[in-house]
């Protein structure tokens, strides 16, 4: 034996153990993407969309019941508005945004994100939408056509259930890291588009706008997106060539 003292280990509780600032590494996996797009020069587009949506309301005053509250005045249109020429302008912007998403996410170039359903929701003061998901698709989106002040924000809920069941205590009066948020709220702005995973729970707060008449309505267009194979461009043969 030597006269040297045995090495201490961290687990024996003796002494202090120090770590350098760069000793703790963090890996961020399984992110939840929420894409945001500001449509340029949206004023003319929105005026046309409002006119088309009001025409839909006149044609179908009852609408359908989904996450909206008809008893509070909320109106939900039928779900094939993307096939209506009056909404073609917005469809073009959705397609442009999803093409960018496909490139950014590395989706197979032989496939694209296709609008399967599109609908409008009009919430007057007091109207809201209960928390829900969109089954049967990959992505969902919302475009704000008219969004007066205090007309109800969009709230996304943490999909990691354990974070909701066992909340952690944080330092009072400090802003917690974004990685530790359990809710995210977006303020509605006319001309803004959000695209998010269809499985992500979300709801809309009550419209508290004090604007007058129909200017107080919160008007949106929503859509669902699925991945479909791109059509191959047709090859045109010179006249007279055999098929």
Q: CA 118 to CA 33: how far, in whole Å?
A: 21
Domains of the chain (ranges; CATH) run 39-160+198-227 (2.60.120.620)
What is the distance between the alpha carbons of residues 115 and 126, in angstroms, rounded to a whole number? Answer: 30
Q: How many Cβ atoms sit within 10 Å of the Cβ of residue 23?
A: 7
Whether 9 shows a pLDDT value over 50: the answer reads no
Q: What is the DSSP string of 25-75?
A: -----S----EEEE-TTHHHHHHHHHHHHHHHHHH-SS---SSB-GGGT-E
pLDDT tens for 224-241 read 999 999 987 655 555 555
Burial of 42 per CB tally in 10 Å (0-12, 13-18, 19+):
buried
Other CB atoms within 10 Å distance of the CB of residue 126? 16
The burial class, CB within 10 Å (0-12 / 13-18 / 19+), for 170 is exposed
**pLDDT digit string, tens, across residues 10-56:** 555 556 788 998 999 999 899 999 999 999 999 999 999 999 999 99
Q: Which residues contact 2 (CB under 8 A, 6 or more apart)?
A: none
What does the DSSP 8-state code read for residue 217?
A: -
Per-residue pLDDT reduced to its tens digit, 176-224? 899 889 999 999 999 999 999 999 999 999 999 999 999 999 999 999 9
Radius of gyration of the chain (CA): 25
């Amino acid at each position: 034996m030597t006269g040297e003292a045995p090495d201490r280990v961290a687990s024996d509780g003796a002494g202090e153990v120090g770590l350098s600032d760069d000793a703790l590494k963090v890996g961020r996996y399984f992110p939840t993407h929420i894409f945001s797009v500001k449509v340029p020069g949206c004023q003319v587009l929105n005026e046309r969309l409002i006119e088309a949506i009001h025409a839909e309301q006149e044609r179908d005053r009852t609408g359908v019941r989904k996450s909206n509250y008809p008893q509070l005045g909320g109106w939900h249109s039928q779900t094939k508005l993307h096939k209506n020429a009056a909404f073609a302008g917005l469809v073009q912007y959705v397609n442009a945004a999803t093409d960018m998403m496909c490139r950014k996410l590395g989706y197979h170039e032989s496939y694209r994100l296709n609008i399967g359903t599109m609908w409008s929701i009009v919430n007057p003061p007091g109207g809201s939408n209960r928390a829900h998901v969109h089954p049967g698709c990959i992505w969902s989106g919302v475009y704000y056509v008219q969004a007066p002040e205090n007309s109800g924000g969009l709230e996304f809920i943490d999909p990691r259930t354990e974070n909701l069941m066992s909340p952690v205590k944080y330092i009072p009066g400090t802003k917690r890291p974004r990685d530790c948020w359990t809710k995210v709220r977006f303020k509605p702005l006319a001309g803004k588009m959000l695209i998010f995973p269809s499985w992500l729970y979300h709801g809309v707060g009550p419209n508290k706008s004090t604007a007058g008449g129909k200017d107080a309505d919160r008007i949106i267009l929503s859509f669902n997106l699925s991945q479909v194979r791109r059509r191959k461009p047709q090859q045109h043969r010179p006249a007279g060539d055999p098929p």
